[in-house]
Amino acid sequence: MYYAKVIGNVVATIKYKGLAGKKLQVIQPVNLKTGEKTGRPLVAVDTTDAGAGDFVGFEDGLEATWPFEGNDVPSDATIVSIIEKVNVYR
């Protein structure tokens, strides 16, 4: 799972049927400790109810399809948690 900040959303009417009704968010991966941006923003399917500004955890790769029972959701990035607080001890 990776750490990112929700910075926006995407509207797409024409899409694969498995993605119908799914929320698409623009996320910026960030460093867990410092909050600095790491890498380029990407678009992720949202299984939570995250909004802009929220810090979230997301899965990438084939694991991104696991939250969806059945296998008809082509997603390579899926938001699976909203993160309230991070404790880094060292």
Partner 1 sequence: MILGQVVGSVVSTQKDKNLVGKKLLIVKAIDLEGNFLESFVVAVDIVGVGSGEKVLVVSGSSARQTDQTRDQAVDSVIVAKVDSYSFDKS
Residue 9 binding partner 1, by CB under 8 A: yes
Residue 82 binding partner 1, by CB under 8 A: no
Residue closer to partner 1 (CB basis): 13 or 87: 13
CA 85/CA 14 separation, integer angstroms? 36
Residue closer to partner 1 (CB basis): 33 or 35: 35
The residues with which 81 forms a beta bridge, in sequence order, are: 57
Give the dihedral of Cα atoms 7, 60, 36, 47; nearest 10 deg: 40
- Mark 39-68 with x for binding to partner 1 (rule: CB under 8 A) and - for no binding: -xxxxxx------xx-------xx-xx---
